[in-house]
Amino acid sequence: MKDWIQYLIIKSTSHPLILVILITFLESLAIVGLLLPGIVLMTSIGTLIGNGKLSFYSAWITGMIGCLIGDYLSYYIGWKFKNWIYTIKIFQKNIHLFQNIKKKINQYSMITIIFGKLIGPTRPLIPMISGMLNLPMKKFVLPSFISCIIWPAVYFIPGIITGILMHHQKYYSKKKIFLCLVIFTICIFFFIQYMWKLYKKKKNF
């Protein structure tokens, strides 16, 4: 399924926004998102943006919509079917991850939801676990909305950079393209780490 979806993104440029909303929805959907290579799929969409085949703002807004639909459906699934979810194999195999996410949501619900969406394994689980914990909607809606603004844009950027550099390939070598992507990824990682530590420090005061 991964190869099929990625093929559609690369080849089906006539209806790219449909693919954007499909990918962002599935990436945010409870459990299903664990089976998809989010960074690969979103980078592929970003490449279309960098090549000028897709508008950034159209893809961003469409991605936000897909993300929000996936989040709210996942929240409902967690709230409605939590007893069943505890029994499925993928839950039992990742019980430590689930327990850790539950602990973080209880301690820092807003920051966990916002930044958890930027991390592949936790992105489709956080909305579902929020529903399982009966987290009040007023505590879920705002951070979910913020995360759905940030996440698509952040995950598009490596592909956008790649698309721009490939479009001007005569000016850039493959080593330079790879180096730019590595530097960008490291910067994003340290930014997330810094924001998380800053938030925890404020919570302790």
Per residue in 131-155, pLDDT (tens digit) is: 988 888 888 999 999 989 988 888 8
- Give a yes or no: residue 166 inside a domain: no
151: in domain = yes
Is residue 43 a part of any domain in this protein? Answer: yes
Domain count, the chain: 1
| Residue pLDDT, tens place only, 112-122 | 888 888 777 78
169 domain-assigned? no
Most confident of 8-22, 40-54, 176-190: 40-54
Q: Which residue has the tokens 């698309």?
A: 163
Q: Kindly report the pTM of this predicted structure.
A: 0.74
What is the length of the chain? 205
Across residues 33-58, what is the average pLDDT?
A: 82
Higher-confidence residue of 52 and 12: namely: 52
The neighbour count for residue 65, using CB atoms within 10 Å, is: 17
Query: What digits encode the pLDDT tens for the residues 76-100?
Result: 999 998 888 888 877 777 777 788 8
Q: Quote the pLDDT of residue 25.
A: 92
Evaluate whether residue 111 is within a structural domain: yes
Q: Which residue has the higher pLDDT, 176 or 73?
A: 73
**Spatial distance between the Cα atoms of 109 and 106, rounded to a whole number of angstroms:** 6
In this structure, is residue 113 part of a structural domain?
yes
Contact 30, 77 (CB under 8 A): yes
Enclosing domain of residue 87 = 2-160
Percent of the chain with pLDDT over 90: 14
What is the per-residue pLDDT for 184?
A: 61
Selection from 38-42, 76-80, 94-98, 194-198 with the highest mean pLDDT:
76-80
- Domain presence at residue 192: no
Judge whether 198 lies within some domain: no
